Structure 1
Amino acid sequence: MLTSSDLPALLRIITNGITAIESSCTQRGIRYPSLDDSLTPESLAIQESLAEEALPVIAAAHQVMATLMSSRSFHQKIIYGSQQSVAIGVAEAGHVAEILREAGPKPTALSPRKLSHYLRFLTTLHVFKEISPDVFANNRRSAVLDTGKSVKEILADPDAKYDGAPGAAAITGTNSDEFLKGAGHTVDTLLDPATSHSQESADSPLQRAFGKKMDLFAWYELPGNELRLRRFGHAMRGVQLKASILGGFDWAALLQGSVVVDVGGGFGGLDLELAKDHKHLQYICQDRPQVAEQANKMWRDQGNQDVISGVVKFQPHDFFGPQPVKNAAVFYMRYILHDWSDAHCIEILTQLRASATPDTKLVVIDALLQNNCLSDGKWKHIPGGEAEVAPAPLLPNFGIAKSDEAYVDILVMTVTNTQERTLDEVNTLLEATGWKLERVHRFPPPSLPQVVAIPV
């Protein structure tokens, strides 16, 4: 007996979801932004406000593609996925978004004929649009590459291209350079008996690619990597999302003058974002001496008043050593633990626990991997402990719609030889270092969750 395919159910999910989105927009007197609209704070806000409604629609649409595409075609889209990174990297390196914004022919080091092929490929992914043969324009997707600077300004000082820019261009450049080079050595690294079972960052595919044996951050500080380090700092600042920072944890409830320590905070983008709304707090951004010095100088040169006034301070510190701040109300870590093995994470968390007061909170922002099967309910007693499960016949973890954490999981295996973790795995680290899981704040993607812990 033939059984019904999943297609009708997927169609209902798509139809119901789009109807809900359109209805919400109508009630609010707004229009959902199209791909041809400009990328503005207003269009971003509309999209973010409807992110939860969009999740099942995105998941269902991709499942329809997986169902209807031929196996050969679907397979090719996967194996040639690296070409997407290459093409968008070419567009970023050629300053294409800025050139198109200025709406006229501008000098570029790239071959116009070759560039047109890369751009046409990107238009098939809805990045840029071809308005006539070999004539391209920005759209909402390509506009994220725009630093907002003039082409003349970029060409006059290429090293400063990413300074003060939103960050998407920086992460694109980083990915198409060192990250992509590392990815090309992943299979060799995994098959080599000397590195296949290693948990050390020195044995990452990226280190193999560049012929080095050190952790990622020491590598960034090598002579010749100055621009890469500068770009990486801007890239990490660019991937921060307000929901992951301003949402969830109740910053307003902290007492006047409470100290917030951003452990491994890089260029301090998180602290500067928090300081906009919470001037009653004192922020200490800790990182390696070279990073802390560069960040402090950059923000002072740009006239940032929170840095100049001392609301935000930069402190050189190695988080594997004793934590110098003994009165922290909050120790905050964003994208830190996923860069280190369990053994190294235990070192980091142990140092923080040793300096914590009985009232100190630990807030960790990292991806939480969700199994692609139904939950056993183990964490239902913890607020936010159980992730939302998608309705059937969707993949339980929403598949492509919530795949950011899965992509980052593979990325960190490439660049630091580590992994993202499930809540079980994070809790194991907390229990081993004297911390107790209190709650999890979850947000619609692409924002990552906050794990909040307290001293035992």
Structure 2
Amino acid sequence: MTSIGISTLRRLANIINEAIDDIERVYAAADTPLSSLDAPFNPADPAEALLQNPIVEGATLNIMAAASQLSATVASPAASALNAAQAYHISACLRAASEMNVVEVLREAGPAGLHAREIAAPSKTDPLLLARILRLLAIHNIFREVTPNVFTNNRISSVLDKGKPSKVLFENRNERLTGTSGFAALVEFSADHNMKGVAMLADIMLHPKEGELGFNRAYRTTGSLWDWLHRPENVYQMQRFDIGSCSHTFRGFNWSELPTGGVLVDVGGGIGHISLAIAQKNPGLRVVVQDLEDTIKDSKIVSRSLYKPPVNKTGNLNIQYWKENLPSHVESGMVDFQVHDFYTPQPVPNAAVFMLRYIMHDWSDELVVKILRHLRDAAQPTTKLVVVDKIVVSAARVPDSKKEAIPGAARPSAPAPLLPNWGVGKAEVYYYDLTASTRLCTH
């Protein structure tokens, strides 16, 4: 008689096999091979575009969730718990590799790779330590160890490529992230400041102080993350945060349905990189980018190093960025930059849409209500509200009757015996949630 445990293993294995069948069918129909893990990432490869195919996306989620659950089922629970307790090493090593520009050095070396001595030479770091760092990443499928102590890039490591010659990166550290996709900046910031704040979770829970969050405990400051980032001595950290924020994209709203001449208000939009991307595809939209004064107006510190060509000390970073990427909107007056605190009344009364991108998660419920009420007061009957953020779903199965009680709450569930929220397949959402909890603003 087959035990329940063995039956579960078979069901998980079947989910993986069925998902592989689905992926094979899509790639076979396109006459395109699946990208190799051992080869560097190539965004122009047609195989990469197929990852956005809904069938492939669904199959990938099932494989990630089932593979993780399968491993957890058969592995020693003590080993699993200890590995989880030491997972911080992965974050620390990934940041170290990016800070030492390892990916770019290896890109220039080619597929044969380089010995750790040669990889460490440009940064003048310890080659033995660097080898151990890269080996830990390699066993987690980030980088590849070709022969002992000889490493090369693979598909995962190469997404950290800043796209510049390594010599340029080492010559001017302050501008190493300037003009990049922002992904390396996002990884570095996450593995640096975010990790340090989250490391304080138990401390602030066991020994709480009024208004103190993980970020405050880690950096010994009473101000918010935003206050800390805007200190003159933290210019580089602020640049890295801003550039990393530019790597996020989103889908789900049909911007083409908005009327020509309609106003998109990017509330708390920074330099407006997302609204710029929207305007590039929908040139009839007028855009108003709103943020605090030091982001909108006072670009003296960051404008000279964030984007090229450099602007003078009185230049406006936002306008410069838009001139480089969508000059027609600047020349025609279709984009405006407003200094605005979203705790005060919204000054744009005729918006077609208010967009709040990754704003809500950083503020308490009371403050979110205050932000939204100001938008509602300024809204027209036809004004849309677009909130771009993460939705944290329970790992427990919820009866359909309870889902139907809240309009829009019903969401797809993973097939049993997978966790209904796809578990590790959706882990990024839960990492993001915990990161926000260490810097949640209440005042």
**Shorter-chain TM-score: which interval?**
0.7 to 0.9
Q: Give the alignment partner of residue 72 of structure 1, picking from 71, 75, 78.
A: 78
1: CA distance between counterparts of 2:272 and 2:262? Answer: 17
1:334 aligns with 2:357: yes
Deviations 1:153-196 (A, max 9, x none): 2223222222221122101221232222222322111112424x
SS at match of 2:233: coil
Does 1:227 pair with 2:236?
yes
The one-letter code matched in structure 2 to 1:37 is A
Matched letter for residue 281 of structure 1: L
**Conserved in 2, the CA contact under 8 Å of 1:263 and 1:332?**
yes
Segment drifting more, 38-47 vs 123-132: 38-47
Where does residue 278 of structure 2 map in the other structure? Answer: 274
Instruction: Classify 1:21/1:157 alpha carbon distance in 2 versus 1 (closer, same or farther; 3 Å).
Output: same
Deviation, structure 1 residue 21: 0.4
- 1:107-146 correspondence to structure 2 within 5 Å: 107-146=122-161
Structure 2 distance, partners of 1:23, 1:336, is 40
Q: Check conservation: 1:299, 1:307, Cα contact below 8 A.
A: no
Indicate the larger mover: 381-390 or 151-160.
Answer: 381-390
Q: 1:270 to 1:85 in 2, by over 3 A?
A: same
In 2, Cα distance between the equivalents of 1:255 and 1:390? Answer: 38
Does the residue aligned with 2:438 lie in a helix, a strand or coil?
Answer: helix
Partner of 1:63: 69
Q: CA deviation at 1:69?
A: 1.0
Equivalent in the alignment of 2:60 = 54
Any idea what SS the aligned residue of 1:102 has?
Answer: helix
- Residue range with higher mean Cα deviation, 100-109 or 6-15: 100-109
Q: Which residue of 1 aligns with 2:314?
A: none
Please give the TM-score of this superposition, normalised by the length of structure 2. Answer: 0.87
Question: Partner residue of 1:83?
Answer: 89
Which of 349, 361, 368 in structure 1 is aligned with 2:391?
Answer: 368
CA distance in 2, matches of 1:220, 1:253: 38
Measure how far apart 1:207 and its partner are.
1.2
The alignment status of 1:299 with 2:321, answered yes or no, reads yes
* Counterpart Cα distance in 1 of 2:216 and 2:327: 39
Out of 338, 341, 361, the position equivalent to 1:318 is 341
CA distance in 1, matches of 2:213, 2:260: 44
1:236 aligns with 2:251: no
> What code does the residue aligned with 1:230 have?
Q
**Residue 358 in structure 1 maps to residue 362 in structure 2:** no
Q: Secondary structure at the match of 2:129?
A: helix
Tell me whether 1:157 sits opposite 2:172 in the alignment.
Answer: yes
TM value normalised by structure 1 = 0.84
Structure 2 equivalent of residue 248 of structure 1: 252
- Is the contact made by 1:237 and 1:267 (CA closer than 8 Å) also made in structure 2? no
Deviations 1:210-243 (A, max 9, x none): 12112221221112111111111111111x12xx
Is contact 2:144–2:152 with CA below 8 Å preserved after alignment? yes
Give the residue type in structure 2 aligned to 1:72.
Answer: A
Amino acid at match of 2:142: V
Question: Which of 183, 207, 219 does residue 216 from structure 2 map onto?
Answer: 207
Identity %: 35
Deviations for 1:30-55, whole angstroms, at most 9, x for unmatched residues?
11112123312234322222212211
Asked if the contact 1:179–1:415 (Cα under 8 Å) also holds between the matched residues in 2, the reply is: no
1:56–1:390 CA contact under 8 A, matched in 2? yes
**Secondary structure at the residue paired with 2:4?**
coil
- Structure 1 residue 410 corresponds to structure 2 residue 430: no
Rounded Cα–Cα distance in structure 1 between residues aligned with 2:379 and 2:15: 47
Equivalent residue for 1:167? 182
Q: Equivalent residue of 1:62, what SS?
A: helix
Report the Cα offset of residue 132 of structure 1.
1.5
| Structure 2 unaligned blocks of 5 or more | 300-316
CA distance in 2, matches of 1:267, 1:79: 38
CA drift of 1:381 comes to: 7.8
Distance 1:362 1:20, change over 3 A: same
Give 1:451's aligned residue: none
Structure 2 counterpart of 1:390: 414
**Among 31, 34, 40, which residue is 2:33 paired with?**
31
Matched to 1:390, the amino acid is A
User: C-alpha separation between the residues in 2 aligned to 1:306 and 1:181?
Assistant: 42
Q: CA deviation at 1:361?
A: 0.7
Q: What letter corresponds to residue 392 of structure 1 in structure 2?
A: A
Q: 2: distance between equivalents of 1:194 and 1:317?
A: 31
Q: Which stretch of structure 1 is more off in the superposition, 181-190 or 270-279?
A: 181-190
Q: Deviation of residue 298 (structure 1)?
A: 5.0
2:13 matched residue in structure 1: 11
1:98–1:29: structure 2 CA closer, same or farther, 3 Å change rule? Answer: same
Query: Cα–Cα, structure 1 residues 273 and 354, in superposed 2: closer, same or farther, change >3 Å?
Result: same
What number of residue pairs does the alignment pair up?
407
Asked if 1:101 is matched to 2:107, the reply is: yes
Q: Secondary structure at 1:369's aligned position in 2? A: coil
| Cα pair 2:122 2:170 within 8 Å, conserved | no
Separation in structure 2 between the aligned mates of residue 88 and residue 359 of structure 1, nearest angstrom: 46
Conserved? CA contact 1:32–1:47, under 8 Å:
no
- Deviations, residues 52-111 of structure 1 (Å, cap 9, x unaligned): 221111111111110111112111121001111100010011011111111174611421
C-alpha change, 1:214 and 1:375, in structure 2 (3 Å) is same
Residue in structure 2 matched with residue 452 of structure 1 by the alignment: none
Work out the CA distance in 1 between the residues paired with 2:94 and 2:403: 40
